[in-house]
RNA sequence: GUGGGUGUAGCUCAGUUGGCAGAGCACCGGGUUGUGGCCCCGGUUGUCGUGGGUUCAAUUCCCAUCACUCACCCCA
C-alpha cells in the first residue's frame, strides 16, 4: 500500500465542503474590495525566493523543496506566494497601466518542516496583496478584510496583533540598541537566542522560553525608535482600525520571519492551534518590488493559513454536507432503465439527483435514500410500469403522490424547484 | 534536525503472569413476499504498522525501522 507523503494530506468529502465554503467566502469578500485573482505557478527559479525571502531565513536555509530539473535548472516549490506575485507584477509590468493593483490567490505552498498540529509540508494559503499604495489605510483595509472574513466563518477567540518594524531609516538604530541590550544579558538567554542575537536579533523578541522573556523585560521597543514618518503611519493605521471598529493589540514583540517586511506588520493569533498561534500574518514590504528589479513602488499584503483557518472555523461541517433533492428507487431492469433516464435529465436541469444502479430491495433503497438525507424518493417498479405512473414520497412528511410518466421530468422539476 | 506519546476491523477503542483475535458503531441480510429512521435476530470485515530476534508458542517480551501525533525549532 503506497501512502501519501509525510506532512501532506487528503481533503476528503465531508471536509472538502468546508474548504469550498471558506474559499467561497474569501473570494466573495475579495471581489467586494475590488481585488482580482492572480494565478501563479507552483514552482519558480530558486533565486527568486532567495532574493525575496532572504538567504538567512529558515525557510530558505532549510525548508524549501529545491531541486534541479531535468535541464539542470535549480527550481523550488513555492514556500509562499508574495515572491511570485511580485515577480508577476514586475514581469508583466502590471504597474504600467495602473500602479495600484489589488490581487489575491488561493493555493498550496510547500515547506519541508517537521509536521505537527497546524503545520503541514503542503499547506494552503489565502493570499492578498495591494501594490502601489503607501498609505497605512491599505494596511488597515487588509486587517479589516481579515477580521471580517474570520467573523463570517465564525472563528472565535482570535486577536489581531499589530506592530511596526520601521524602515531602512530607523530600523538599524533599533537593531543596534537591541543588539547592545542582548549582549548585556547574553548569559540569560537560551541557546537558540544566543545564536539568533547575531543572525536575526529581532527574532529574539518573540522567543517563548520563560528565561528569555524575563531577560527581555527591559528590552528596547521598536515603537520607541520609529522615525517620524513611520510613527505617523503607525498612528494612522491605529486610528483607521479604531474607526472601523476593529479590535487590535499593539504588540512590539511581533516580528516576521521573512526579511522583506517594513513598517506595518500584523498577525491574527489564536490559542486553538496548539503551538501554532498565527492563523494569518502579513505586513508592508515597500522595498521588495524595487529589490526584485521593478519600480520603487510600495506594497503590503497578508497570507492566511487555510488549513489552520479550516481547523478553527466555527462552521458545522455536517450542515454543509450536500443532500440529494431526489433519490430514485427503481425495481427491476425495465423500471431502472426508465428511472436512469429521468435521473440524468433531472440532473442536467440542475437538480441534485442520486440513484442506485444495481438491483436492491425497496427496503434497502429506502434505507439508502434516508442515509443520504434525500428530501424525496421517486419509486418505480412493476406496479408503476403497469399504471404508467411513478410514486413520489416526501421523506419528511411521508406524503406520497402519483406522478404520471408522461411529462414526469418537467413535472418533478416544477414541483421540487427551490426546495 | 531534536525529544515525548501512539500504531489491533471502515471508525472509536478493549485485549498481563506469552496459548487458535474482541466490543460498540458502521456495513450487508432477515423479522415486514414493494416503503427509511426505533427495536429484535443473523452475518461480513483483520498481513494485530513493517522486518528481525527470543520461545514449543509473540498482538503481548527484545531490537530495528516506518508512519501518525504532540512539543522544540520555525511559521501561515
Residue pLDDT, tens place only, A184-225: 876 777 777 777 777 777 878 877 776 777 777 778 888 999
Q: Can you tell me the distance from the alpha carbon of A130 to that of A137, in angstroms, rounded to the nearest whole number?
A: 11
Residue nearest to nucleotide B74 (CA to C1'): A58
pTM > 0.90: yes or no? yes
Contact A336, A321 (CB under 8 A): no
Write down the mean pLDDT value for chain A. Answer: 91
Q: What is the mean pLDDT of residues A90-106?
A: 97
Q: Within 7 A of a protein CB, which nucleotides of strand B? A: 1-3, 27-30, 32-37, 47, 66-76
Cβ < 7 Å from strand B, A residues 65-84 = 80
Residue pLDDT, tens place only, A278-313: 999 999 999 999 999 999 999 999 999 999 999 999
Q: What is the mean pLDDT of residues A357-377?
A: 93
Cβ < 7 Å from strand B, A residues 293-352 = 303-305, 307-308, 331
Cβ < 7 Å from strand B, A residues 139-178 = none
| Of A413, A350, A410, residue with least CA distance to A376 | A413
Residue pLDDT, tens place only, A130-171: 999 999 999 999 999 999 999 999 998 899 999 999 988 888
Q: Can you tell me the distance from the alpha carbon of A83 to that of A86, in angstroms, rounded to the nearest whole number?
A: 5
**What does the pLDDT read at residue A214?**
77
Determine how β-strand A101-110 pairs with β-strand A249-250. Answer: unpaired
pLDDT for A257 beyond 80 = no
Which nucleotide minimizes the distance between its C1' and the CA of A283? B76
Which nucleotide minimizes the distance between its C1' and the CA of A384? B34
Q: What is the mean pLDDT of residues A7-25?
A: 91
ipTM, 2 dp? 0.86
Rounded, the Å distance between the CA of A204 and C1' of B60 is 48
Amino acid at each position: 500500500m503506497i501512502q501519501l507523503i509525510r506532512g501532506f494530506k487528503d481533503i476528503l468529502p465531508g471536509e472538502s465542503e468546508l474548504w469550498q465554503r471558506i474559499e467561497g467566502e474569501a473570494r466573495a469578500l475579495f471581489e467586494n474590495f475590488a481585488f482580482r485573482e492572480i494565478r501563479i505557478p507552483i514552482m519558480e527559479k530558486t533565486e527568486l525566493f532567495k532574493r525575496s525571502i532572504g538567504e538567512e531565513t529558515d525557510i530558505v536555509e532549510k525548508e524549501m523543496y529545491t531541486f534541479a530539473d531535468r535541464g539542470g535548472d535549480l527550481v523550488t516549490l513555492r514556500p509562499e506566494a508574495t515572491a511570485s506575485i511580485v515577480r508577476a507584477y514586475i514581469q508583466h509590468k502590471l504597474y504600467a497601466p495602473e500602479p495600484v493593483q489589488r490581487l489575491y490567490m488561493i493555493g498550496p505552498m510547500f515547506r519541508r518542516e517537521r509536521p505537527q498540529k497546524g503545520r503541514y509540508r503542503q499547506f494552503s494559503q489565502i493570499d492578498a496583496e495591494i501594490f502601489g499604495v503607501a498609505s497605512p489605510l491599505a494596511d488597515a483595509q487588509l486587517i479589516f478584510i481579515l477580521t471580517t472574513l474570520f467573523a463570517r466563518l465564525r472563528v472565535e477567540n482570535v486577536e489581531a496583533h499589530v506592530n511596526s518594524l520601521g524602515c531602512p531609516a530607523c530600523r538599524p538604530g533599533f537593531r543596534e540598541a537591541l543588539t547592545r541590550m542582548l549582549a548585556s544579558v547574553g548569559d540569560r538567554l537560551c541557546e537558540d537566542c544566543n545564536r539568533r542575537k547575531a543572525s536575526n536579533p529581532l527574532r529574539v523578541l518573540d522567543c517563548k522560553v520563560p528565561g528569555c522573556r524575563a531577560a527581555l523585560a527591559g528590552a528596547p521597543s521598536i515603537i520607541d525608535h520609529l522615525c517620524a514618518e513611520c510613527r505617523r503611519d503607525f498612528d494612522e493605521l491605529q486610528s483607521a482600525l479604531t474607526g472601523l471598529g476593529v479590535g487590535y493589540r499593539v504588540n512590539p514583540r511581533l516580528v516576521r520571519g521573512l526579511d522583506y517586511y517594513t513598517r506595518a506588520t500584523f498577525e491574527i493569533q489564536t490559542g486553538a492551534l496548539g503551538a501554532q498561534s498565527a492563523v494569518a500574518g502579513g505586513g508592508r514590504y515597500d522595498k521588495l518590488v524595487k529589490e526584485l528589479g521593478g519600480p520603487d513602488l510600495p506594497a503590503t499584503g497578508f497570507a492566511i493559513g487555510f488549513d489552520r483557518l479550516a481547523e478553527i472555523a466555527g462552521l458545522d461541517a455536517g450542515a454543509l454536507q450536500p443532500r440529494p433533492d431526489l433519490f430514485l428507487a427503481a425495481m427491476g431492469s425495465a423500471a431502472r432503465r426508465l428511472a436512469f433516464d429521468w435521473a440524468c435529465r433531472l440532473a442536467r436541469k440542475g437538480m441534485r439527483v442520486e440513484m442506485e444502479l444495481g438491483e436492491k430491495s425497496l427496503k434497502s433503497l429506502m434505507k439508502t435514500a434516508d442515509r443520504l438525507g434525500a428530501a424525496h424518493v421517486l419509486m418505480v417498479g412493476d406496479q408503476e410500469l403497469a399504471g404508467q405512473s411513478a410514486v413520489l414520497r416526501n421523506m419528511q412528511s411521508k406524503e406520497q403522490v402519483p406522478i404520471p410518466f408522461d411529462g414526469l421530468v418537467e413535472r418533478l422539476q416544477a414541483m421540487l424547484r427551490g426546495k
